[in-house]
Amino acid sequence: MRRNLRWLGPVAVALSAAVLVPLAGAAAPAPGPASAGVAADDPGAGPWAQVPRDQVAARCGLDPVLLDQANAALPGIPFTIVRHGKLCWVNRPADTTSTYHVASVTKTFAATLFGMIAQRSSTLEDTDPVREWLSSWEAGPIDPRATLAHVLAMTSTKSNLATDQKGGWSYDALGWREINRLITVMNRAIQREPAAFPGVTDVQQFAQRYLFDVLGMR
């Protein structure tokens, strides 16, 4: 399931930065003392205050020159970098109404939603065997010995699931092999305990209310 992201401020695109900024080469720490011993702050619950550009290297361990290059390389794409509890960088395009696909950032959303639902559920854990939640037909290529944690890590179809046997790994690019199957799992967790999920009956409603609306997504 793809979603469109509309620019509504720094928080709305914090998750996108995890993918966009490294691709642009802008998240590499500045060499030398600027990236060493950077103190982490507690951001608290108040409004974010952006770190001034001339303090980004010292307080965030980031190179503002590379970040300027990222802004230039991604002129129409908003992104935000939050690091060490600080709002370190924001790229604000002039166009505030365009929408665009967030592509595989949805995998981050899926993992976030799984954690949010598991926190409210008394039965859902990432250590649960997949077969506790999905039938053989629903699980498809997933190894019957796999846990939900294997699905989240996109390793549930490997022949050897041992943690010390990494072996080959392939990316579940479209989500059909593993990640999308978590939709059924999360729906069942919600439906098992409706009192724990007031106002929603499935993961789509839960996502819209508790994640997408908060991030300014539609």
Q: Is the pLDDT of residue 148 over 70?
A: yes
| 92-106, 154-168, 172-186: least confidently modelled range | 92-106
Query: d(Cα 19, Cα 181) in Å, to the nearest integer?
Result: 23
Q: Please compute the mean of the pLDDT values over residues 150-177 and round it to a whole number.
A: 85
Please give the pLDDT value at position 163: 75
**Which tokens hold the place of 63?**
């190179």
Instruction: Report if pTM > 0.85.
Output: no
Query: d(Cα 73, Cα 53) in Å, to the nearest integer?
Result: 18
Query: d(Cα 124, Cα 117) in Å, to the nearest integer?
Result: 8
Place of tokens 């609306």: 213
Q: Is the pLDDT of residue 79 over 60?
A: yes
Q: Please compute the mean of the pLDDT values over residues 152-175 and round it to a whole number.
A: 84
Helix spans in the chain (H): 14-24, 56-60, 64-73, 105-120, 136-139, 148-152, 182-192, 203-207, 213-215
